[in-house]
Amino acid sequence: MLDAWDLMDLKRFRIYEGLEDRGTDPIDNLDLWFRGAIKTWCTRARILRYYVWNPATTVTWWHAVEDSAVESGEAIGEQLQHNKELRRLVPSGILPAENRKKWITGGSFNLKGKRIGDSASMTCLGAGGEGTGKHSLVGVLDNFVGWNDVVDGQMGKKKQFYQATVRNVVLRTAEKHGWADAVGTHWAIDDPYVDWRVSPDWIST
């Protein structure tokens, strides 16, 4: 699976940098893991690699529980600020000083490599939270579906949120081809993952 991530991510960044045509192949990625796996940790590492490849990368991270999204943003930011081996891989002047205070707010932060006018380098939201005005290259759907969606019959609303909000936040223009990374576990026969598994817009790895 990690080899498949390597190939897909290389293709995505080549497209983004104009080194490869977009073509018609899907670039949104769905990974379904068994419950209790370390999917969130692996996805955090994947995002860190995005920042190493291109510090101007902007990410919006959604989770069924907003506090869990914020936790991931803080974990990623702390690695960028304090992991000395990781910091050696990023050009000088991009990352915050190791002793800087209050760099991460609500799981969100900004790197100096970000282009003027872009959204925050990292934005963390609950899956269902307002995303108006936000635009990012990458959308992460980490455990996008939760138990409350099952017991409260919210699958329809969750699918509507994806169409109305997520697809508008993730950049998809003639010049910028953003993508979504979804990791989760099946909860029900009508959850969004069922639709994405058979959609031509997604690839499962």
Q: Is residue 1's pLDDT more than 70?
A: no
- Look up the pTM and report it: 0.92
Q: Is residue 136's pLDDT more than 80?
A: yes
Q: What is the pLDDT of residue 123?
A: 95
Q: Which two tokens stand for residue 182?
A: 């979804």
Q: Which two tokens stand for residue 158?
A: 């969750």
Residue 43 · residue 50 · CB < 8 Å: no
Categorize the per-residue pLDDT at 25 as very low, low, confident or very high, splitting at 50, 70 and 90. Answer: confident
Categorize the per-residue pLDDT at 94 as very low, low, confident or very high, splitting at 50, 70 and 90. Answer: very high
Rounded Cα gap, residues 106 and 71, in angstroms: 9
Q: Is residue 116's pLDDT more than 70?
A: no
CA of 144: how far to CAs of 1, 2, 91, 101, 159, in Å?
20, 21, 33, 31, 10
Largest CA distance in the chain: 49
